[in-house]
Amino acid sequence: MKFFVDTAEVADIRSLAEAGLVDGVTTNPSLIAKSGRDFKEVIAEICAITPGPVSAEVTATDAAGMIAEGQVLRSIAPNVAVKVPLTEAGLVACRRLASEGAMVNVTLCFSPAQALLAAKAGATFISPFVGRLDDIATDGMRLIADIVQIYRNYPALTTEVLVASVRHPIHLVEAAKMGAHVATLPPSVIRMLLKHPLTDRGLEAFLADWKKTGQSIL
């Protein structure tokens, strides 16, 4: 499974990339606004850190506007994936941009039927939002299982399932067991994956025993 980092904070991306935990990055208008920086400048900087796909989202709502913005975003770096919403206009833009060779991430997916439409429009990635479904008492992971099953039924569909709105490690583990291709995770959730009390306890014991020997490796 590929790990994308869901943030526009460059320092977090660089830190996680040093540990080999960044296969790509996803951003959205909310994350860019939170960073307080220039949109294009941030995307260019992120693209220089990772060679993997970096999702940059359009803000237009009509197809022509999305296509025009997508073409501008593509010009920032070759690894930009243009992010469009799962609307009819978004699918028109997806088809056009994909035909021009762009990677396209279709976002805000909440049903298997929507995911099938995005794949038919040529999406590189489909982003189903599991956490937001959980928030309204709906099983977000069921959506992932359904999309993975549908895509597997039709090998001609090459769209990758990019699990989004991941709130905790269980979302990630369940998605990996189902065979989802990618998960995009906030840096805080990636760091949660490292934590286990037995790891901490074991390390403390090893260090205590080593200290008793009075030795030094260096």
Task: Tell me which residues are annotated as active site.
Answer: 83
**What is the 3 state secondary structure string of 33-61?**
HHHCCCHHHHHHHHHHHCCCCEEEECCCC
Token pair recorded at residue 141: 């992971």
Element spanning 182, H or E: strand 182-185
Whether the Cβ atoms of residue 16 and residue 95 lie closer than 8 Å to each other: no
Whether the Cβ atoms of residue 60 and residue 66 lie closer than 8 Å to each other: yes
How far apart CA 142 and CA 111 sit, in angstroms, is 10
Which is nearest to 123 in space by CA: 181, 49, 41?
181
- Sort residue 214 into left (φ over 0), alpha (ψ -120 to 50) or beta: left
How far apart CA 153 and CA 113 sit, in angstroms, is 14
Cβ neighbors of 191 (< 8 A, separation 6 or more) are: none
Task: Please report how the helices 39-49 and 10-18 are oriented relative to each other, as an axis angle in degrees rounded to 10.
Answer: 10
